Structure 1
Amino acid sequence: MNETDKQMILSKAQQWFLDTIAENHIVNTRKLVDPGEFNINPFLATYLANFLTGNSSPESIAKALVYPRVLGSSITTSFGTNVQKFTSEVLSSFGSTTPGIDIEFTDQVDGHKKYCQLKAGPNTINKDDVESIHGHFGAIQRLSRTNNLRIPSDDLIVGVLYGEHSDLSGHYLRLENDYDHPVIVGNDFWHCLTGDDTFYHDLIAAIVQVAEKADGKRVIEDTIQALAATDRIIQLSALSQR
């Protein structure tokens, strides 16, 4: 893969992250000016406000409500559920027409053609996914034999976009240990795809640039101030100070 191709992936990844992740994140953050967006537990809200800031002022309560929602697991879930969109928009040049395969590429490390299912992170498959993935890979091997081709198990891989091999869940490890399908993770995956052992870090840096442009700090601060000014949060603060 040449430098132009790598820069194209980085540019597409930035645009995908901006359009699919960052913009939705900002929209969902701005919704939090309404107390109705929260299932407020008055005991925990005031406790967490004090735990966070040392007081239960309206602003502190708003922070205790907003921070977990904005910085919590929902954006991780959003990233995971949009992997297919990432595949079609960012890695479209590697797209596969083989059922059950997301991308096909020539491994830039070992030179073998790889048939790859893409997953977001090291904890994003469950028990049923293991059998499904192995089933797809088995069907491909049977079809290849019918066509007088040989595709070994270690060329049928799962590519994980981020993380370390040591972070893999037991479900991923079953694919490797029980079914001999390699799970290539994070830096190793991007190295195999691009031939550049620093590409993963370049990709992270490209996404950071999106965050800088999004100005999330201002959005969060404005949301907290608006939420803190609502009657419900003001009343909750007053009750906690009796």
Structure 2
Amino acid sequence: MDNKQRKQIINNAKEFFRNEIVQSHIDGACERASRLSEYNVNPFLFKYLANFLTGNDDPKSIARALVLPRILGSSITTSFGMKIQNLISSLFKGLGSTTQGIDIEFIDEIDGRKKYCQLKAGPNTINHDDVTTIINHFNGVRNLARTNNLNVGISDMIVCVVYGEESELSSHYKRISGFYPVHIGQDFWHRLTGKEDFYYELIDAIGEVALEVDASKVVEATITKLAKEIAEKYQ
């Protein structure tokens, strides 16, 4: 992969986060977080959590204790997970595969061999049934390759995980690795781009998008709106 292609991946990642993640976070997650009906409020805990966070349990403190974990944790994680296929499509324009069950094909910059790759988001993003499906897809591709006299080895059928560390891989990925290689995070991006530090370069590039965003006023407006509902219901 040449430098121009690597830069294109960086630009694609930035555009994806601007258009898909940031706007969804502001327009969707914050709006939902401002409504009390979105929460399963535990009446035994909400005042405690507010005091724990701010030192008092007025409606705004309660709202803050509810809103912050939602918009900084679960909502953005869920949003990212739901949009991961869009991310993959954005990042890997031009690398798609016409082979059934394969997301992208590329020349491995470490061993020089062509790889047939299924892309996954993170180290915990597949379930028990996915293991059999992936292995069957790979077996099918290798059988077809033998029929067509193509040199496709076991190490050429790979699962690549966009982010994470090897130590974080779930037991489902570890089952797959008993049959076919699983490359995650830095290892995957090194093989794809030829740059050992590209994974961290990509993370930094996405971090640059965060510097463009100051949603503190939106967060405060969300907390204020929720606090009004809390005051009406519980005070």
Match of 1:58 in 2: 59
Aligned equivalent of 2:166 = 165
Give the TM-score of the pair, scaled to structure 1.
0.91
TM-score by length of 2: 0.94
Report the alpha carbon displacement of residue 140 of structure 1 after superposing the two structures with TM: 0.2
- The answer to whether the 8 A contact 1:103-1:116 is kept is yes
Percentage of matched positions with identical amino acids? 52
Taking the TM superposition and a 5 Å limit, the aligned residue runs for 1:104-115 are: 104-115=105-116
Q: Are residues 1:234 and 2:231 paired?
A: yes
Q: Which runs of 5+ in 2 are unaligned?
A: none
1:58-117 CA distances to partner (integer Å, 9 max, x unpaired)? 111011110121122332232223232222222011111111011000011110101110
Correspondence for 2:98: 97
Contact kept, 8 Å, 1:61 with 1:237, in 2: the verdict is: no
Match of 1:74 in 2: 75
Question: Is the 8 Å Cα contact of residues 80 and 119 (structure 1) preserved in structure 2?
Answer: no
SS in 1 for 2:23: helix
Whether the 8 Å CA contact 1:83–1:120 is kept in 2: the answer is yes
Shift of 1:16: 1.0
2:156 maps to 1:155: yes
Q: Deviations for 1:113-144, whole angstroms, at most 9, x for unmatched residues? A: 01110111011111111000001001100110
Once residues 38 and 85 of structure 2 are traced to their aligned partners in structure 1, the CA distance between those partners, rounded to angstroms, is 29
Q: Distance in 2 between matches of 1:208 and 1:219?
A: 20
List aligned pairs for 1:1-242, cutoff 5 A: 1-27=1-27, 28-177=29-178, 179=179, 181-228=180-227, 230=228, 232-235=229-232, 238=235
Q: 94-103 or 33-42: which moved more?
A: 33-42
CA RMSD between the two structures: 1.5
Q: CA offset at residue 191 of structure 1?
A: 0.6
Q: How many residues align?
A: 234
Distance 1:195 1:26, change over 3 A: same
Counterpart-to-counterpart distance in 1, 2:20 and 2:231: 35
SS at match of 1:68: helix
| SS of alignment partner, residue 93 of structure 1 | coil
- Cα separation, 2, equivalents of 1:54 and 1:45: 13
* Structure 1 Cα separation of the partners of residues 31 and 209 of structure 2: 18
CA contact (8 A) 1:87 1:102 kept: no
Shift of 1:209: 1.6
TM-fit CA distance, 1:43: 2.1
- Residue 153 of structure 1 deviates from its aligned partner by 1.1
**Cα pair 2:33 2:222 within 8 Å, conserved:** yes
Distance 1:82 1:205 in 2: 20
Q: Tell me how far 1:237 sits from its aligned partner.
A: 6.1
Q: Cα offset for 1:236?
A: 5.7
Hey, what's the Cα distance between the residues in 2 that align with 1:58 and 1:92?
48
Structure 2 CA distance for aligned equivalents of residues 237 and 57 of structure 1 = 10
Deviates more, 1:211-220 or 1:94-103: 211-220
Please give the secondary structure, in 2, of the residue aligned with 1:173.
helix
